[in-house]
């Protein structure tokens, strides 16, 4: 009887170990900290132009347990003349809104199809709040890029990041 129990315990332990090993063999390629290196847009005629200036600022963090945040800022941003966030002019508020694109939520990656699914909790563009977007991505070494859904004017934002750390 003891030999059978021991055999069963070893069989279960090997099955669990094998299952855990299989999970380790297919790591999530997004996990880590990323620095924004380009925030461009593709125009309907195929031309690619800077969308957030020549040297945009930003970061992205993707955690192993499925959370993400992405921040994109224009390289040159207009300061509020009155130095009071609550008392900007309509032009200052418009520029502040259009000079940043940030969001956070949960995500999953399918390396077999090169698709990332982003479940956006909140975004600086309120229309993305509580939405899900599936984006095709490209990963070459430590450079990750994806295209955002087309805007009403037909332009397609392109985000390009370089890995700076793996936790």
| DSSP classification of residue 118 | E
User: 67-98, pLDDT tens digit by residue?
Assistant: 999 999 999 999 999 999 999 999 999 999 99
Residue 166: its pLDDT value, please?
85
Taking the model in full, what pTM does it have? 0.81
Q: Measure CA 63 to chain center.
A: 10
Residue 18: its pLDDT value, please?
44
Angle at alpha carbon of residue 124, lines to 122 and 127, rounded to 5°: 70
Tokens encoding 59: 């970061």
Tokens encoding 62: 């993707």
**pLDDT band per the 50, 70, 90 thresholds, residue 136:** very high
How many CB atoms within 10 Å of residue 91? Answer: 10
Rounded to an integer, the average pLDDT of 36-42 is: 98
User: 89-134, pLDDT tens digit by residue?
Assistant: 999 999 999 999 999 999 999 999 999 999 999 999 999 999 999 9
**pLDDT band per the 50, 70, 90 thresholds, residue 25:** very low
| H or E segment to which residue 25 belongs | helix 2-25
Q: How far apart are the first and last CA of the chain?
A: 46
Residue 11: its pLDDT value, please?
53
Pick the CATH number of 28-165 from 2.40.128.280, 2.60.40.10, 1.10.3720.10, 3.40.50.620: 2.40.128.280
Phi/psi for 11 (5° steps) reads -60, -45
């Amino acid at each position: 009887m003891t030999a059978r129990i021991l055999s069963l315990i070893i069989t279960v332990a090997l099955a669990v170990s094998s299952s855990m090993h299989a999970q380790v063999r297919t790591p999530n390629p997004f996990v880590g900290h990323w620095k924004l290196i380009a925030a461009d847009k593709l125009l309907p005629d195929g031309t690619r132009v800077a969308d957030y200036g020549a040297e945009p600022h930003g970061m992205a963090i993707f955690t192993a347990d499925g959370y993400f945040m992405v921040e994109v800022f224009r390289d040159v941003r207009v300061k509020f003349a009155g130095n009071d966030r609550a008392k900007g002019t309509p032009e200052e508020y418009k520029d502040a809104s259009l000079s940043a694109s940030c969001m956070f939520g949960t995500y999953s990656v399918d390396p077999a199809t090169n698709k990332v699914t982003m479940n956006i909790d909140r975004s600086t563009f309120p229309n993305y709040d509580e939405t899900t977007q599936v984006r095709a991505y490209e990963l070459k070494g430590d450079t990750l890029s994806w295209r955002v859904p087309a805007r009403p004017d037909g332009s397609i934002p392109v985000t390009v990041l370089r890995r700076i750390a793996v936790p």
